[in-house]
Amino acid sequence: MARANALYYANHDPFDDFVTSPEISQVFGEILGLWAGQVWTMLGAPSHAILVEAGPGRGTLLIDALAILDRALPAFSSAISLHLIETSPRLAAALQTKLPGAQIHRSFDDIPGGPLILLANEFLDALPIRQFVRRETGWVERYVANGAFVEYMAEIDLPPHPVGTVLERNEAAAVFVNGVAGHIMRHGGAALFIDYGPSRSAPGDTLQAIRHGQSAPPLIDPGTADLTAHVDFEALGIGAAGTGCVVAGPIAQGAFLASLGIHERTAQLGRYGSPDDAFRLLAATQRLTAPEAMGSLFKAFSFRHPSLPALPGFSQ
Protein backbone atom coordinates (compact mmCIF):
# COMPACT_ATOMS: atom_id res chain seq x y z
CA MET A 1 0.00 0.00 0.00
CA ALA A 2 2.82 2.40 0.85
CA ARG A 3 4.68 1.73 -2.39
CA ALA A 4 1.52 1.90 -4.50
CA ASN A 5 0.49 5.26 -3.02
CA ALA A 6 4.01 6.66 -3.36
CA LEU A 7 3.96 5.76 -7.06
CA TYR A 8 0.45 7.13 -7.48
CA TYR A 9 1.17 10.53 -5.94
CA ALA A 10 4.49 10.82 -7.76
CA ASN A 11 2.91 10.38 -11.20
CA HIS A 12 -0.76 11.35 -10.98
CA ASP A 13 -2.79 14.42 -10.13
CA PRO A 14 -4.97 12.93 -7.36
CA PHE A 15 -7.59 15.62 -7.89
CA ASP A 16 -8.41 14.03 -11.24
CA ASP A 17 -9.71 11.09 -9.21
CA PHE A 18 -11.29 12.66 -6.12
CA VAL A 19 -12.15 16.01 -4.56
CA THR A 20 -11.20 16.93 -0.99
CA SER A 21 -12.96 19.42 1.27
CA PRO A 22 -10.62 22.38 0.57
CA GLU A 23 -11.28 21.97 -3.16
CA ILE A 24 -15.03 21.90 -2.60
CA SER A 25 -15.22 25.31 -0.93
CA GLN A 26 -12.88 28.11 0.10
CA VAL A 27 -14.88 28.36 3.32
CA PHE A 28 -13.41 25.07 4.55
CA GLY A 29 -9.87 26.45 4.44
CA GLU A 30 -11.00 29.75 5.94
CA ILE A 31 -12.68 28.01 8.87
CA LEU A 32 -9.59 25.91 9.60
CA GLY A 33 -7.40 28.96 9.25
CA LEU A 34 -9.43 30.84 11.84
CA TRP A 35 -9.27 27.74 14.06
CA ALA A 36 -5.47 27.85 13.83
CA GLY A 37 -5.51 31.57 14.61
CA GLN A 38 -7.61 30.99 17.71
CA VAL A 39 -5.25 28.26 18.91
CA TRP A 40 -2.27 30.59 18.40
CA THR A 41 -4.05 33.19 20.54
CA MET A 42 -4.74 30.56 23.20
CA LEU A 43 -1.02 29.75 23.21
CA GLY A 44 -0.37 33.34 24.22
CA ALA A 45 0.28 34.65 20.69
CA PRO A 46 3.96 33.58 20.69
CA SER A 47 6.24 35.58 18.41
CA HIS A 48 7.58 32.35 16.93
CA ALA A 49 5.29 29.38 16.27
CA ILE A 50 5.11 26.58 13.72
CA LEU A 51 2.13 25.97 11.43
CA VAL A 52 2.29 22.54 9.81
CA GLU A 53 0.02 20.92 7.25
CA ALA A 54 0.43 17.21 6.63
CA GLY A 55 -0.55 16.13 3.14
CA PRO A 56 -1.18 19.61 1.70
CA GLY A 57 -2.02 18.43 -1.83
CA ARG A 58 -2.26 21.53 -4.02
CA GLY A 59 -1.94 23.85 -1.05
CA THR A 60 -5.54 25.03 -1.38
CA LEU A 61 -6.37 24.72 2.31
CA LEU A 62 -3.43 26.84 3.45
CA ILE A 63 -3.86 29.41 0.69
CA ASP A 64 -7.44 30.03 1.82
CA ALA A 65 -6.48 29.83 5.50
CA LEU A 66 -3.64 32.33 5.23
CA ALA A 67 -5.69 34.71 3.09
CA ILE A 68 -8.36 35.14 5.75
CA LEU A 69 -5.81 35.24 8.57
CA ASP A 70 -3.94 38.06 6.83
CA ARG A 71 -7.14 40.10 7.15
CA ALA A 72 -8.53 38.86 10.46
CA LEU A 73 -5.34 38.30 12.46
CA PRO A 74 -2.35 39.87 10.68
CA ALA A 75 -0.02 39.30 13.63
CA PHE A 76 -0.43 35.53 13.14
CA SER A 77 1.15 35.52 9.68
CA SER A 78 4.24 37.37 10.86
CA ALA A 79 4.65 35.09 13.89
CA ILE A 80 4.48 31.67 12.26
CA SER A 81 6.85 29.69 10.09
CA LEU A 82 5.08 27.48 7.58
CA HIS A 83 6.02 23.81 7.19
CA LEU A 84 4.52 21.22 4.85
CA ILE A 85 4.85 17.44 5.02
CA GLU A 86 4.77 16.12 1.47
CA THR A 87 6.59 13.08 0.06
CA SER A 88 5.62 13.50 -3.60
CA PRO A 89 8.38 15.37 -5.51
CA ARG A 90 5.83 16.53 -8.08
CA LEU A 91 3.46 17.99 -5.51
CA ALA A 92 6.34 19.44 -3.48
CA ALA A 93 7.62 21.36 -6.52
CA ALA A 94 4.18 22.85 -7.16
CA LEU A 95 3.77 23.79 -3.50
CA GLN A 96 7.03 25.74 -3.48
CA THR A 97 5.57 27.95 -6.21
CA LYS A 98 2.16 28.38 -4.57
CA LEU A 99 3.41 28.85 -1.01
CA PRO A 100 6.78 30.60 -1.29
CA GLY A 101 8.67 30.59 1.96
CA ALA A 102 7.15 27.33 3.17
CA GLN A 103 9.59 24.63 4.16
CA ILE A 104 8.75 21.19 2.78
CA HIS A 105 9.65 17.99 4.62
CA ARG A 106 9.27 14.31 3.88
CA SER A 107 8.75 13.41 7.54
CA PHE A 108 7.41 15.00 10.70
CA ASP A 109 10.74 14.10 12.30
CA ASP A 110 12.26 17.02 10.36
CA ILE A 111 9.93 19.63 11.89
CA PRO A 112 11.89 22.04 14.14
CA GLY A 113 11.07 22.63 17.79
CA GLY A 114 8.61 25.28 18.91
CA PRO A 115 4.91 25.76 19.69
CA LEU A 116 3.04 23.72 17.09
CA ILE A 117 -0.29 24.03 15.29
CA LEU A 118 -0.85 21.10 12.94
CA LEU A 119 -3.61 20.65 10.38
CA ALA A 120 -4.17 17.41 8.47
CA ASN A 121 -7.14 16.83 6.19
CA GLU A 122 -7.50 13.37 4.63
CA PHE A 123 -3.93 12.46 5.47
CA LEU A 124 -4.12 9.50 7.85
CA ASP A 125 -6.43 7.45 5.60
CA ALA A 126 -3.70 7.09 2.95
CA LEU A 127 -1.09 5.68 5.33
CA PRO A 128 -0.49 1.91 4.94
CA ILE A 129 -2.44 -0.58 7.01
CA ARG A 130 -1.94 -4.20 8.03
CA GLN A 131 -4.87 -6.61 7.73
CA PHE A 132 -5.50 -9.71 9.84
CA VAL A 133 -8.17 -12.34 9.18
CA ARG A 134 -9.52 -14.89 11.66
CA ARG A 135 -9.42 -18.36 10.09
CA GLU A 136 -10.32 -21.75 11.55
CA THR A 137 -6.66 -22.33 12.36
CA GLY A 138 -6.15 -18.89 13.97
CA TRP A 139 -5.21 -15.37 12.92
CA VAL A 140 -3.46 -14.85 9.59
CA GLU A 141 -1.97 -11.69 8.12
CA ARG A 142 -2.66 -10.64 4.56
CA TYR A 143 0.20 -9.81 2.24
CA VAL A 144 0.24 -9.07 -1.49
CA ALA A 145 2.14 -11.18 -4.02
CA ASN A 146 1.71 -11.31 -7.80
CA GLY A 147 -1.38 -9.11 -7.67
CA ALA A 148 -3.29 -11.21 -5.15
CA PHE A 149 -3.66 -11.58 -1.40
CA VAL A 150 -1.66 -14.30 0.30
CA GLU A 151 -1.97 -15.27 3.96
CA TYR A 152 0.57 -16.29 6.58
CA MET A 153 0.05 -17.06 10.22
CA ALA A 154 0.03 -13.84 12.22
CA GLU A 155 2.93 -13.18 14.56
CA ILE A 156 1.07 -10.83 16.94
CA ASP A 157 -1.56 -11.54 19.58
CA LEU A 158 -5.09 -10.48 18.71
CA PRO A 159 -8.33 -10.69 20.70
CA PRO A 160 -10.79 -13.51 19.98
CA HIS A 161 -13.27 -12.91 17.15
CA PRO A 162 -15.53 -15.06 14.98
CA VAL A 163 -14.04 -16.84 11.97
CA GLY A 164 -13.94 -14.49 8.99
CA THR A 165 -13.41 -11.32 11.01
CA VAL A 166 -11.00 -8.78 9.49
CA LEU A 167 -9.00 -6.48 11.77
CA GLU A 168 -6.91 -3.58 10.51
CA ARG A 169 -3.96 -1.94 12.20
CA ASN A 170 -2.45 1.33 10.98
CA GLU A 171 0.97 1.43 12.61
CA ALA A 172 2.18 4.26 10.35
CA ALA A 173 -0.69 6.49 11.49
CA ALA A 174 0.04 5.64 15.14
CA VAL A 175 3.72 6.51 14.72
CA PHE A 176 2.84 9.82 13.09
CA VAL A 177 0.24 10.80 15.70
CA ASN A 178 2.48 9.81 18.59
CA GLY A 179 5.33 11.83 17.10
CA VAL A 180 3.11 14.92 16.86
CA ALA A 181 1.83 14.36 20.39
CA GLY A 182 5.37 14.03 21.71
CA HIS A 183 6.34 17.32 20.05
CA ILE A 184 3.31 19.04 21.59
CA MET A 185 4.17 17.75 25.06
CA ARG A 186 7.72 19.12 24.70
CA HIS A 187 6.95 22.46 23.05
CA GLY A 188 3.23 23.15 23.43
CA GLY A 189 0.51 23.38 20.83
CA ALA A 190 -2.36 21.43 19.30
CA ALA A 191 -3.18 19.20 16.33
CA LEU A 192 -6.34 18.85 14.25
CA PHE A 193 -7.04 15.88 12.00
CA ILE A 194 -10.07 15.59 9.73
CA ASP A 195 -10.54 12.20 8.13
CA TYR A 196 -13.09 9.46 7.67
CA GLY A 197 -13.90 6.42 9.75
CA PRO A 198 -16.12 5.31 12.65
CA SER A 199 -16.01 6.99 16.04
CA ARG A 200 -15.08 3.72 17.74
CA SER A 201 -12.84 0.88 16.59
CA ALA A 202 -14.72 -1.71 14.56
CA PRO A 203 -13.73 -4.86 12.63
CA GLY A 204 -13.99 -4.87 8.86
CA ASP A 205 -12.14 -4.65 5.57
CA THR A 206 -12.06 -0.93 4.67
CA LEU A 207 -9.27 -0.95 2.08
CA GLN A 208 -10.48 0.81 -1.05
CA ALA A 209 -9.15 2.28 -4.27
CA ILE A 210 -10.36 5.26 -6.29
CA ARG A 211 -9.46 5.55 -9.96
CA HIS A 212 -10.97 8.20 -12.27
CA GLY A 213 -13.48 9.10 -9.57
CA GLN A 214 -14.80 5.55 -9.33
CA SER A 215 -14.28 2.67 -6.92
CA ALA A 216 -11.74 0.20 -8.28
CA PRO A 217 -10.23 -3.16 -7.23
CA PRO A 218 -7.36 -2.21 -4.89
CA LEU A 219 -4.90 -4.81 -6.21
CA ILE A 220 -5.29 -4.04 -9.92
CA ASP A 221 -2.56 -1.90 -11.54
CA PRO A 222 -0.90 -0.66 -8.33
CA GLY A 223 0.20 2.94 -8.54
CA THR A 224 -2.69 4.01 -10.79
CA ALA A 225 -5.29 4.46 -8.02
CA ASP A 226 -5.45 6.13 -4.64
CA LEU A 227 -5.54 3.55 -1.83
CA THR A 228 -7.16 4.45 1.49
CA ALA A 229 -8.63 2.83 4.60
CA HIS A 230 -10.81 4.04 7.45
CA VAL A 231 -9.01 5.79 10.30
CA ASP A 232 -9.14 4.14 13.74
CA PHE A 233 -9.66 7.31 15.77
CA GLU A 234 -10.14 5.41 19.02
CA ALA A 235 -6.75 3.68 18.79
CA LEU A 236 -5.00 6.89 17.77
CA GLY A 237 -6.62 8.75 20.65
CA ILE A 238 -5.38 6.16 23.14
CA GLY A 239 -1.86 6.58 21.79
CA ALA A 240 -1.93 10.39 21.93
CA ALA A 241 -3.39 10.36 25.45
CA GLY A 242 -0.59 8.02 26.50
CA THR A 243 1.94 10.79 25.82
CA GLY A 244 0.09 13.16 28.16
CA CYS A 245 -1.88 15.09 25.56
CA VAL A 246 -5.57 15.87 26.06
CA VAL A 247 -7.63 14.22 23.30
CA ALA A 248 -10.95 15.54 21.99
CA GLY A 249 -13.23 13.90 19.45
CA PRO A 250 -13.79 12.42 17.07
CA ILE A 251 -16.90 14.44 16.31
CA ALA A 252 -18.83 14.63 13.04
CA GLN A 253 -17.32 17.05 10.54
CA GLY A 254 -20.71 18.69 10.00
CA ALA A 255 -21.14 19.51 13.68
CA PHE A 256 -17.54 20.67 13.99
CA LEU A 257 -17.71 23.06 11.04
CA ALA A 258 -21.12 24.35 12.11
CA SER A 259 -19.84 25.18 15.59
CA LEU A 260 -17.02 27.20 13.99
CA GLY A 261 -19.41 29.27 11.89
CA ILE A 262 -19.31 27.72 8.42
CA HIS A 263 -22.96 28.52 7.74
CA GLU A 264 -22.57 32.14 8.82
CA ARG A 265 -19.41 32.58 6.71
CA THR A 266 -21.15 31.00 3.70
CA ALA A 267 -24.08 33.40 4.03
CA GLN A 268 -21.70 36.35 4.40
CA LEU A 269 -19.82 35.49 1.22
CA GLY A 270 -23.08 34.82 -0.62
CA ARG A 271 -24.28 38.36 0.01
CA TYR A 272 -21.32 39.79 -1.91
CA GLY A 273 -21.49 37.54 -4.95
CA SER A 274 -23.89 36.78 -7.76
CA PRO A 275 -26.92 34.56 -7.16
CA ASP A 276 -25.09 31.74 -8.96
CA ASP A 277 -22.04 32.17 -6.73
CA ALA A 278 -24.22 32.20 -3.63
CA PHE A 279 -25.93 29.00 -4.74
CA ARG A 280 -22.60 27.26 -5.39
CA LEU A 281 -21.29 28.29 -1.97
CA LEU A 282 -24.44 27.07 -0.26
CA ALA A 283 -24.35 23.75 -2.15
CA ALA A 284 -20.69 23.26 -1.22
CA THR A 285 -21.33 23.92 2.47
CA GLN A 286 -24.26 21.52 2.37
CA ARG A 287 -21.98 18.86 0.89
CA LEU A 288 -19.43 19.40 3.65
CA THR A 289 -21.90 19.38 6.54
CA ALA A 290 -24.97 17.30 5.64
CA PRO A 291 -25.06 13.88 7.36
CA GLU A 292 -25.99 12.17 4.09
CA ALA A 293 -22.97 13.73 2.37
CA MET A 294 -19.62 14.30 4.12
CA GLY A 295 -20.89 15.68 7.40
CA SER A 296 -21.23 12.39 9.25
CA LEU A 297 -18.66 10.00 7.73
CA PHE A 298 -15.84 12.52 8.15
CA LYS A 299 -14.70 13.27 11.69
CA ALA A 300 -12.69 15.96 13.45
CA PHE A 301 -10.16 14.69 15.97
CA SER A 302 -7.72 16.76 18.02
CA PHE A 303 -5.26 16.73 20.87
CA ARG A 304 -3.52 19.49 22.75
CA HIS A 305 -1.00 20.27 25.45
CA PRO A 306 -2.70 19.96 28.87
CA SER A 307 -1.98 23.64 29.62
CA LEU A 308 -4.52 24.68 26.97
CA PRO A 309 -8.29 24.88 27.53
CA ALA A 310 -10.74 23.08 25.23
CA LEU A 311 -10.00 23.79 21.58
CA PRO A 312 -12.45 25.63 19.31
CA GLY A 313 -15.18 23.30 18.08
CA PHE A 314 -14.64 20.73 20.83
CA SER A 315 -16.48 20.64 24.14
CA GLN A 316 -13.68 19.03 26.14
Confidence of residue 213 (pLDDT cuts 50, 70, 90): confident
pLDDT digits (tens, 9 = 90+) for 254-267: 999 999 999 999 99
Alpha helices (H) in the chain, listed in sequence order: 2-11, 21-24, 26-42, 60-72, 74-79, 89-98, 171-187, 233-242, 253-259, 262-271, 275-289
Are 223 and 8 a contacting pair, CB within 8 Å?
Answer: yes
220-246 exposure pattern, b = at least 16 Cβ within 10 A, e = fewer: eebebbbbbbbbbbbbbbebbeebebb
Considering only the top CATH level, what class is 2-127+170-304? alpha beta
pLDDT digits (tens, 9 = 90+) for 241-250: 999 999 999 9
The DSSP symbol for 271 reads H
pLDDT digits (tens, 9 = 90+) for 76-122: 999 999 999 999 999 999 999 999 999 999 999 999 999 999 999 99
Residue ranges covered by each domain of the chain: 2-127+170-304, 130-168
Which tops the pLDDT comparison, 273 or 68?
68
Q: With 80 as the cut, is the pLDDT of residue 10 above it?
A: yes
pLDDT digits (tens, 9 = 90+) for 136-152: 999 999 999 999 999 99
Question: Pick from 172, 177, 1, 11: which is nearest to 88 by CA?
Answer: 11
Confidence of residue 198 (pLDDT cuts 50, 70, 90): very high
Residue 21's identity, in one-letter code, is S
Q: With 90 as the cut, is the pLDDT of residue 19 above it?
A: no
Mean pLDDT for all residues in the chain: 96
Confidence of residue 202 (pLDDT cuts 50, 70, 90): very high
Confidence of residue 228 (pLDDT cuts 50, 70, 90): very high
pTM: 0.96
